[in-house]
Chain A
Amino acid sequence: MDDPKTFPKKRLSIIIEAPFLSRLLELLDSLDVPGYTAIPALAGKGQSGSWRRDSLSSEANKMVHVLIILDEEKVPGVLEALRDVLERQMGIVTLSDVEVLRPDLF
């Protein structure tokens, strides 16, 4: 049996503070992004110390993870818009290669 055919795409991963999530999603809605998924993070550690979701009183310090799968040619435009907005915020933005089964979705 043949291996199912897959297609190359880019995955943009953004870990950002929870208070910032709604603004980030508004920004993504305004850009040419086919879709995204946001996932709550449970705990973490970084330059500003460590945290656990269940021990925080406020949305401050909580982090969320936003995943976007998109075509390579759309990446520069999205990254540029993100850089302007995320410049001063805590967080991690990474870009990686992925393979998808159904390319028309992205």
Chain B
Amino acid sequence: MDFSLAAQNLISPPVLFFALGLFAALARSELAIPEAVAKALSLFLMLAIGFKGGVAASEHGLGLDLVLVILAAVALSFTIPLIAFAALRATTRISRIDQAAIAAHYGSISIVTFIAGTAALDAASLSYPGIMVAAAAAMEAPAIMTALFLARGKGDQGAPAGQTPWREVALNGSVVLLIGAFAIGMATGDTGYQEIAPFITDPFKGVLCLFLLDMGLVAGRELRQARKTLTPALLVFGFYMPVVGGLLGALVAALIGLDRGGIALLSILTASASYIAVPAAMRLALPEAKPSLYLTLSLAVTFPFNLTLGIPLYIMVAGWLA
């Protein structure tokens, strides 16, 4: 087993800054990043990753492989909530609506985990297809549909028809920026890239560090609540579900013929759980589901796991399958 990859990831500046934030929050330090700054940092990261993905895609051209990757990504986003839901049904006693809401988070994606994954691939000198950014954007919403279907259930135990926020989900800020920046990157290609490279490439890792510091703070605060809300079965779910999703994603990626970087990234996407778009959608569509369960699981358990151990694991598995 390739432990050097895991070690290299654990002592990389972004992960260490995340750990710093986590520590600061657990120690109840006053350290905080203003909300507007955190939002700007995430916009920068999405603009940069979307644009770079578009430039890379313009160099390789788009063809059937793009369609195939997007279709696979969408299918995975639809399917993974079914697995998550079945696992929660079998192991926990939380309500059906809570199970469905949690399942939606695991089928959808965390773009920060994806970005951290690209940084880890860069650090390991592994390339990846630019179209993976488009796959990431395509995976945000389908899981929500599956979860709403699951939440309804049979008879009267399910949720009443909710106010499904299709417009909010489809035009959610991160999807618009990722797809938009991807399209601009494709349209302007290498010339465009040269023009803004000093802005989006050199500061990228530093901004990622600052953003992950904030994520550490947020996750740490969430973790302080975890003892009150998470049962052992739920806690364990937060660790095994990303691995299950990640392996499924890796297998599908290998089947459609992606290279090692592509397999790793699809695996990272399927392993990651949403904590921005889906929680907001769930508040509208399934207001009875408890945010303390899905946010804590996704943010305080699965995100730190993926960032530290998951990403090197998925990159390693991708190496075996490629």
Binding site for B on A (CB under 8 A): 17-20, 22-23, 48-49, 53-61, 85, 88-90
Interface of chain B, helix or strand or loop or mixed?
Answer: helix
B217–A19 CB distance below 8 A: no
Known: A19-B168, A49-B225, A54-B32. A59 touches B291 (CB 8 A): no
Closest to A91 in B: B287
B299–A57 CB distance below 8 A: yes
A57 CA to B295 CA in the complex, in Å? 9
Closest to A50 in B: B225
Known: A19-B165, A19-B168, A58-B276. A89 touches B217 (CB 8 A): no
A17 CA to B283 CA in the complex, in Å? 8
A48–B34 CB distance below 8 A: no
| Residue of B218, B225, B282 touching A60 (CB-CB under 8 A) | B282
B279–A61 CB distance below 8 A: yes
Interchain nearest-CB distance for B161 vs A (Å): 10
A60 CA to B287 CA in the complex, in Å? 10
Interface set, chain B 136-188, CB cutoff 8 A to A: 160, 162-163, 165, 168
Contact flags B271-311 to A (C-beta < 8 A → 1, else 0): 00001110111111001101110010001000000000000
Interface set, chain B 208-233, CB cutoff 8 A to A: 215, 217-218, 221-222, 225
Sample 9 A-B pairs with CB under 8 A, ordered by A number.
A19-B281, A48-B291, A48-B292, A54-B32, A55-B222, A58-B275, A58-B280, A59-B276, A60-B282
A60–B162 CB distance below 8 A: no
Contacts of A58 in B (CB 8 A): 275-277, 279-280, 295
Which one of B160, B222, B287 has the highest number of Cβ atoms from chain A below 10 Å of its Cβ? B287
Contacts of B292 in A (CB 8 A): 48-49
The reply on B35 being an interface residue by CB < 8 A is: yes
Contacts of B34 in A (CB 8 A): 54
Contacts of A20 in B (CB 8 A): 283-284
Q: 7 closest pairs, A vs B, by CB? A: A60-B279, A59-B280, A19-B280, A55-B221, A58-B279, A19-B283, A58-B276
Chain B interface size band reads 20 to 34
A56–B287 CB distance below 8 A: no
Interchain nearest-CB distance for B240 vs A (Å): 23
Contacts of A57 in B (CB 8 A): 215, 218, 222, 275-276, 279, 295, 299
Contacts of B221 in A (CB 8 A): 55
A17 CA to B286 CA in the complex, in Å? 13
A89 CA to B34 CA in the complex, in Å? 28
Known: A48-B292, A55-B221, A58-B295. A90 touches B287 (CB 8 A): yes
A63 CA to B295 CA in the complex, in Å? 16
A95 CA to B282 CA in the complex, in Å? 28
Known: A19-B283, A20-B283, A88-B162. A56 touches B218 (CB 8 A): yes
A60–B288 CB distance below 8 A: no
Told that A55-B221, A58-B279, A60-B283 touch, could you supply 11 new A-B pairs with CB distance under 8 A? A18-B280, A20-B283, A54-B32, A55-B32, A57-B215, A57-B275, A57-B299, A60-B279, A60-B280, A61-B279, A90-B283
Interchain nearest-CB distance for B74 vs A (Å): 23
Interface set, chain B 31-72, CB cutoff 8 A to A: 32, 34-35
Contacts of B283 in A (CB 8 A): 17, 19-20, 59-61, 89-90
A86 CA to B215 CA in the complex, in Å? 32
Contacts of A23 in B (CB 8 A): 163, 284
